[in-house]
Amino acid sequence: MPLFLKARSFLRNLFATRRAEVDLDQEVHSHLEMLTDENVRAGMPPNEARRAARIELGGIEQVKEQVREERIGNWLQSVLADCRYALRQLRKSPGFTIVALLTLALGIGATTAIFSVVNSALLRPLAYRDPQQLYLVREIVPQMAEFYPTLRANIPDFRIWQKEVHAFEDVAIAEPTTADLTGHGDPEVLHGVRASANIFSVLGIRPALGRTFRREEDDSGRGHVLILTDEFWRNRFRGDPLAIGKTMTLDGAPYEIVGVLPASLPFPQVLGGADNYSRLAFFKPLNGMEDYEQGLIGEFDFAAVARLKPGVTQQQALAELNVVQAQIAKQANAGVDLLGALLPLETEVVGPARRGLLFLLAAVAAVLLIVCANLASLLLARVPGRMREAAIRSALGASHGRIIRQLLTETFLLSFAGGALSIGIAGFAVKWLVHLAPPGIPRLSEVHMDARVLLFALVISVATGSFFGIFPALRIARSQPVDALKSGATATTESRRTRRLREGLVGFEVGLTTLLLVLAGLLMASLGQLLRVHTGFAVDNVLVASVDLPPQSYQESASRLQFYDRVLAGLQSLPGIHAAGWVSIPPLAGEGSVTGITIAGADQTRAATPVANYRPVSPDYFAAMGIPLLQGRIFGPADRDRKIVVVSQSVADRFWPGENAIGKICVTQWGPDTPAEVVGVVGDIRTVQLDEPPIMMVYVPHWFSPISVPTSASIVLRTPGDPTLYAGPVRDLIRSIDADVPVTTLRPMSQVVSHSLDARRFPMLLAMLFALSSLLLASLGIFGVVGYSVEQRRQELGIRLALGGELRDLLGMVLRQGMAPVVVGLAGGIVTALFAGHLIASLLFGVSANDPITLAAVALVVAIVAFVACYLPARRAMHSDPMTALRYE
Amino acid sequence: MSPEPTTLLQGTLDLLILKSLVAGEMHGLGISRRIQQITGGTFVVKPGSLFPAVHRMEEEGWISSFWGDSENNRRAKYYRLTKAGRKQLDVETERWGRISWAIAQALETS
């Protein structure tokens, strides 16, 4: 029964408030009347009686409020009332509400989205078991240390470590590999990893499906099994669990699929994974050693990763490793020493990205600071108005806590609405960024919104909002409400201290924005410089088709040569082709063979020999790639079997400065030392990267040595017009010659150049997005603050106008006051940028960290945007009628 | 002048209101005067305390209310004890007996 009664009261209090209120009002009034009656009966004159009754009652509204607070459900009731009131307040000043909402939504949304993409695509930490116990094992041959400070590992040494180094719980090795997949439509080149069977147990990874490798699958002939990556399994087998047990044909041999790895497994390059721009498809076990892999010293091809036993320090493990290395060197008896090195895996993987991460975190912090500053200055602008309101409320019986609660409700409402909007914006922005990102960025498919950043950003902004939101209440607490009430109309101008603070915040925002814009601008200018750099080869009207010859049918170099010859002959018959040639690796597609070059009779130790980049080419390659012949001639079929080379300008300058290089003899160390005659000198090119100066190049003909006909090569085609028009015919031609040869890439050289900059372009884009969001936020802040203060000063401005003030002067005054903090902030930002620019100097190319053009452009952009943000609200207020303004209250 | 009104112990006000209503239905001012009378002027219950208390007690179901005419023909809200209210009065009386006995004991102990 009482429970039922309570529920009824609760519902009545919630919904039948009007009737309950009328009831209460009547009850209190009748009480007052009866008190008055009593006093009259006691002989008081009526006026006196009424006054005494009122004093005894103690304030009608206060009594009613006390009763309300006793009611069941009062708490919910008053929160709802607060919310309704807050909504009304927010609707009353739409300018403030919209600017604050946009600030929150854009600021939090953009930060969350950008951070999420970068964090999950580029910086995600290693998801291995106890990653701090994992170390990369590198070998050191002191005699080779000048050119190769540390080396990767080889299979025989790995086998010895497994047995002899007891500080290792276990050690595993892995190397990147490729394989031609046939039997499923067009042949395809897959990137994979060849690893020791224990690789997954060392890293602490369990397969999502099937099993990992068995120990015996490292033995020769037993390793025809595959574990697929989640991505490849989903693409190729549509995520079908029945893929386990199926057979795939790699390089002509059957492999059984035994497992599928979990999604989002990071396998970085330092562990033997493929580079960032190709996706891993499979893992296969060692399957024994090849003949060339037997030696104890040499073929250091494998990344080795060791898991230290618990409690073993890096020093202890290294000491033991070095003892074992010394034994290996002794056993090998090759006249070289052997040492080891242990590098923490986490540092090796995350290390290079560290600067980027710090830069990114700084940018996130900057944008969040701007969000907070915006909120703070918007709320501060409202302080005078709100103080008056709070004073009235307090005079009407609201307790101090109640006023604070009301103000907090308003801020919370705003923050949560902004937060909800920001989740939408972040979700949209993540999709957009993923869409925008170059295809090479790894693991983009797994990008998801980072809940931690979202939460952090939300908490920060709610905290800021709350702090500045209850400012009026705190100020009221320190003063008598009477003062605020008495000040009446003058309360609409804010105190000097609040204005200083607000101007400081605007200046701070502008400064941060300027800094971000300068840094992003410098990155963008670098990219522009790189695109204009003199490459040394033709970028336009060149088509590059890379092919990978399946080893089973192209074992012999003669068969490979025949294939290339037939392709070139076929291309010559296409209409309009200027030139066609092949090269082992085209510019900007990889490093290739870098090894020693010297001149006959030079007395140099092997270690000090300069190195050059060796590339086998067909004679027409230079014409097709647009590399100019500077001296002599290109080799041709007539030179067959002669040891001759074409070198780049830098080789000639290095060995025969001021002389004619033609006819000179150089000793190549590509394979066994071979003296070769220089027949031609060609121009230098940016071979490996656009931002590195040209390196020495040695071009050799296909007959130069047994390794001069590569198993994979790029066909280069000089076309009369748009090279993409020739993509189809080239593909058809290659298929007609051998349908089993996969075309790995087919794209114009301009695209190769552009893709080589992807690693720079995406961070630049992100930095730009950060800078632009902060510019947008800062201009919103200026817009909001100027707009609100003009609104507050409407009366003052109206009086000035009515007294004959010139519209232009008033506009000028408002603009001057609005722009003053902008100018200060801009100057501060530029000065900071002059110093901060040096921090990113290593990321710049062709522009100085103090590039005056960038600085000037940024200053101009910030000034214009800030001016517009000031001008729009100022003009709107000026164009209103002075009479309305005067009446405005 | 009457002595300074004593601050009411938590729960004491409820007991006094319940007790005053035993005599019959009463409006707010009546309750207040009745308490003053039965406590010999020791307790003066101001409207600011009385109204929140009676409204809370009505929500608890101890008393019920109706509108009626006062002795001077004014419309007034009257309160009367319910069954639950009588039970509550017994509970409160018993509790108060225990408390006052305990306090008396404590004060007698030297």
- Summarised one tens digit per residue, pLDDT across range A455-488 is 877 787 788 777 777 766 666 656 565 665 665 5
Q: Do A58 and B47 touch (CB under 8 A)?
A: yes
Using alpha carbons only, what angle is made at residue A310 by residues A304 and A314, rounded to the nearest 5 degrees? 55
Q: Which residues contact A292 (CB under 8 A, 6 or more apart)?
A: A299
Q: What is the mean pLDDT of the segment spanning A749-759? A: 82
Q: What is the ipTM of this complex?
A: 0.84
Cα–Cα distances (Å) from A167 to A161, A202, A345, A802, in that order, read 10, 14, 16, 89
Q: Which residues of A touch B51 (CB under 8 A)?
A: 27-28, 31, 63, 66-67
Q: Do B56 and A70 touch (CB under 8 A)?
A: yes
pLDDT over 50 at A691, yes or no: yes
CA distance A4 to chain B (A): 9
Supply the pLDDT for residue A473: 63
Q: Which residues of A touch B86 (CB under 8 A)?
A: none
User: Which residues of B fall below an 8 Å CB-CB distance to A?
Assistant: 27-29, 46-48, 51-53, 55-56, 58-61, 70, 72, 74-77, 84
pLDDT-above-90 percentage for chain A: 19
Supply the pLDDT for residue A419: 82
Interface test mutation site (partner B, options A6, A23, A34, A56, max chain B beta carbons within 10 A):
A34
Supply the pLDDT for residue A354: 61
Do the beta carbons of residue A699 and residue A682 sit within 8 Å?
yes
Confidence of residue A5 (pLDDT cuts 50, 70, 90): low
Pick the more confident residue, A620 or A691. A620
Q: Do A35 and B27 touch (CB under 8 A)?
A: no
Q: Is A639 helix (H, G, I), strand (E, B) or coil?
A: helix
pLDDT digits (tens, 9 = 90+) for A643-652: 999 999 999 9
Supply the pLDDT for residue A781: 85
Do the beta carbons of residue A828 and residue A507 sit within 8 Å?
yes
pLDDT over 90 at A699, yes or no: yes
Q: Which of B60, B61, B76 sits opposite A30 (nearest CB)?
A: B76
Interface test mutation site (partner B, options A70, A74, A77, max chain B beta carbons within 10 A):
A70
Q: Which of A9, A37, A56 sits opposite B59 (nearest CB)?
A: A9
Q: Residue with structure tokens 């190397």?
A: A175
Supply the pLDDT for residue A884: 65
Q: Do A31 and B61 touch (CB under 8 A)?
A: no
pLDDT digits (tens, 9 = 90+) for A538-583: 888 999 999 988 877 888 888 999 999 999 999 988 888 889 999 9
Strand partners, A95: none
**Most confident residue range from A177-186, A452-461, A598-607, A610-619:** A610-619
Q: Which residues of B touch A16 (CB under 8 A)?
A: none
Pick the more confident residue, A673 or A75. A673
Supply the pLDDT for residue B79: 93
DSSP annotation of A603: -
pLDDT over 80 at A842, yes or no: no
Q: What is the mean pLDDT of the segment spanning A415-442? A: 77
Supply the pLDDT for residue A580: 92
Confidence of residue A654 (pLDDT cuts 50, 70, 90): confident
Q: Which residues of B touch A42 (CB under 8 A)?
A: none
Supply the pLDDT for residue A251: 84
Pick the more confident residue, A824 or A475. A824
Q: Which of B29, B59, B72 sits opposite A6 (nearest CB)?
A: B59
Scanning every residue of chain A, which has its alpha carbon at the shortest distance from the alpha carbon of B75?
A30
Structure token digits, residue B21: 């209503």
Confidence of residue A93 (pLDDT cuts 50, 70, 90): confident
Structure token digits, residue B78: 């009257």
Question: Quick one: chain A helix, strand, coil %, rounded to 5?
Answer: 55, 15, 30
Supply the pLDDT for residue A179: 84
Q: Do A30 and B70 touch (CB under 8 A)?
A: yes
Q: Is A596 helix (H, G, I), strand (E, B) or coil?
A: strand
Scanning every residue of chain B, which has its alpha carbon at the shortest distance from the alpha carbon of A68?
B52
Least confident of A341-350, A445-454, A584-593: A445-454
Supply the pLDDT for residue A868: 92
Give the residue ranges of chain B where pLDDT is below 70.
Answer: 1-10, 110
Scanning every residue of chain B, which has its alpha carbon at the shortest distance from the alpha carbon of A10?
B59
Supply the pLDDT for residue B70: 80
Q: What is the mean pLDDT of the segment spanning A606-620? A: 80
DSSP annotation of A728: H
Supply the pLDDT for residue B4: 42
Q: Is A328 helix (H, G, I), strand (E, B) or coil?
A: helix
pLDDT digits (tens, 9 = 90+) for A761-791: 777 887 888 888 889 888 988 888 888 777 7
Pick the more confident residue, A534 or A443. A534
CA distance B96 to chain A (A): 23
Least confident of A394-403, A711-720, A778-787: A394-403
Cα–Cα distances (Å) from A486 to A385, A460, A489, A491, A889, in that order, read 13, 36, 9, 9, 15
Q: Do B29 and A67 touch (CB under 8 A)?
A: no
Q: For residue A319, how far is the Cα from the chain centroid?
A: 39
Q: Do B51 and A66 touch (CB under 8 A)?
A: yes
Q: Residue with structure tokens 């001021």?
A: A658
pLDDT digits (tens, 9 = 90+) for A314-326: 899 999 999 999 9
Do the beta carbons of residue A159 and residue A330 sit within 8 Å?
no
Q: What is the mean pLDDT of the segment spanning A199-216? A: 88
Q: What is the mean pLDDT of the segment spanning A729-747? A: 88
Separation CA B64–CA B76 (nearest Å) = 14
Separation CA A517–CA A773 (nearest Å) = 10
Separation CA A545–CA A731 (nearest Å) = 8
Burial class (CB in 10 A: 0-12, 13-18, 19+), A88: exposed
Least confident of A227-231, A272-276, A390-394: A272-276
DSSP annotation of A677: E
Q: Which of A1, A37, A71 sits opposite B61 (nearest CB)?
A: A1
Q: What is the mean pLDDT of the segment spanning A110-130? A: 71
Supply the pLDDT for residue A277: 46
pLDDT over 70 at A442, yes or no: no
Pick the more confident residue, A534 or A390. A534
Among A655, A573, A660, A549, CA closest to A612:
A655
Least confident of A73-87, A383-397, A690-704, B1-15: B1-15
pLDDT over 60 at A66, yes or no: yes
Q: Do B46 and A1 touch (CB under 8 A)?
A: no
pLDDT over 60 at A439, yes or no: no
Q: What is the mean pLDDT of the segment spanning A377-390? A: 75
Q: Which residues of A touch B48 (CB under 8 A)?
A: 58, 62-63, 66
Q: Do B77 and A58 touch (CB under 8 A)?
A: no
Scanning every residue of chain B, which has its alpha carbon at the shortest distance from the alpha carbon of A67?
B52
pLDDT over 90 at A839, yes or no: no
User: Which residues of A fall below an 8 Å CB-CB distance to B?
Assistant: 1-2, 5-6, 9, 23-24, 26-28, 30-31, 33-35, 37-38, 56-58, 62-63, 66-67, 69-72
Supply the pLDDT for residue A482: 61
Q: What is the mean pLDDT of the segment spanning A727-731? A: 90
Burial class (CB in 10 A: 0-12, 13-18, 19+), A95: middle
